[in-house]
Every structure is written in structure tokens, then in C-alpha cells.
Chains A and B, each alone.
Chain A
Amino acid sequence: ILNVEQSPQSLHVQEGDSTNFTCSFPSSNFYALHWYRWETAKSPEALFVMTLNGDEKKKGRISATLNTKEGYSYLYIKGSQPEDSATYLCAPYSGGGADGLTFGKGTHLIIQP
């Protein structure tokens, strides 16, 4: 099972502010990095799947970058809105079997009006 670290564990942000958080993972045998958004009482939903070093993906006000050589990814939220409140999970995927889609414990984001 892969060791995945996400920081910070929780984050309070004022509405309108921008924020970012980190996912760290083993850089060896890297295949893909997934980001998911998990609202309370719902199921996780995919935001991005990233595979290439230096890749940057964007969906509305949310974007993510990937560094596979050093084993980290950043998720950015620009102009936070109350509906952004959720837990954000990352999951690295190593190729070749052995380790499945292993999630970090997530960053719990609360947007304060």
C-alpha cells in the first residue's frame, strides 16, 4: 500500500480567497495521480487524473499541477466559494499492479462566508 501524505489536514478559508494544498507520494513507479472532491454525505467525485510530469489541469476555478520526479501535486482553488467546502483527496496510481488506487486522508476545506 502506497504512502500518501496530504497537507494540511484541514483548512479554513474566507470566501473569495484563494487557497492551495499538497499531495505527496512516492515518485518511483509512478503511473497516474488522481484528485477527488468529496462532499459530506456524498460519494467522492473525480476532479483530475494526471499522468505527465509538469502537467497542469484546470476545471473552472480549480487547477492542479504535478511533479512526478519529486513526488508531489498541488491543488489550487481560486476565489473560494461556500460550495467548494469539501474534503479533497488525492490518490497516486503505480503501474504494474501491486498497489491499487490508494487515497490520502484528504484536506478538509471549509469556506467561511
Chain B
Amino acid sequence: DAGVIQSPRHEVTEMGQEVTLRCKPISGHDYLFWYRQTMMRGLELLIYFNNNVPIDDSGMPEDRFSAKMPNASFSTLKIQPSEPRDSAVYFCASSLGQSSEAFFGQGTRLTVV
């Protein structure tokens, strides 16, 4: 398996535009996590899914953020409209079960200008 794949690796967008980040988890994994890396909060959990169902989205900062997992092999994190303060590195991770290690993607570096 190629591991967790995120796309794009880098995204530069203008304030107000819609941004969609994509994640392909490791095949067979039943948990998928979205994180945001910031200086203030470190690695911040935004939302996670179990068997494609969102379990906890209390970390999603605002209504501008939404995430979906239409099937076991794909998830998206959407920001609409984007703001400069959304600039960060966004990580996706997947795991098999609750007590197994999570594998992280390479991250998407988002810059909103």
C-alpha cells in the first residue's frame, strides 16, 4: 500500500475562495482523522470518521469547514469561504481500529492570501 495519500501537497488560494483538500486512507482502515497544525495549538483534531460515519466534529473551527467521507477510500475537507487565518498544514491519518497506530499522510500546506 502507498500509505495515506493527500492532495494537493500545496495550495495557494485567495481569501473568499473555496478550498477542497483530499485524502485517500490506507485500504482496509476503518478510522480516518483530519488534523490541522498550528503554532498555537499544535496538532489539532478537526473531525474523525469511523466506517465512513463522522463521529466527532467538535474540533471543526467554524461552519466554513465541512468534511465528508462518501466511501471507505476517500475523504474531503472543504473550507468555504477561506480566510487568511486558515493558512496551516492539514494532515489526514487513518488507522485500523481504536488501539492501532495511525498512519499520517504527507499533509497539505494551505496558504490563503
**Interface residue from A46, A97, A99, A106 paired with B101 (Cβ < 8 Å):** A46
Asked if A93 CB lies within 8 Å of chain B CBs, one says: yes
Number of A residues near B (Cβ < 8 Å) is 24
**How distant is the Cα of A101 from the Cα of B102 in the complex, in angstroms?**
9
Task: Kindly provide the distance from the CB of A61 to the nearest chain B CB, expressed in whole angstroms.
Answer: 19
Q: In whole angstroms, what is the CA distance A95 to B48 when docked?
A: 14
Cβ of A98: which chain B residues have Cβ within 8 Å of it?
55-56
Contact A93 B99 (CB under 8 A): yes
Within 8 A of A (CB), among B74-113: 91, 93, 95, 98-107
Q: In the assembly, what is the distance between CA of A89 and CA of B100, in Å?
A: 16
Could you list 16 A-B pairs, sorted by A, with CB under 8 Å? A31-B98, A38-B43, A45-B104, A49-B99, A49-B100, A97-B56, A98-B55, A98-B56, A100-B45, A100-B55, A101-B33, A101-B45, A101-B102, A103-B42, A103-B45, A106-B42
Q: Footprint of A on B, CB under 8 Å?
A: 33, 35, 41-43, 45, 48, 50, 55-56, 58-59, 91, 93, 95, 98-107
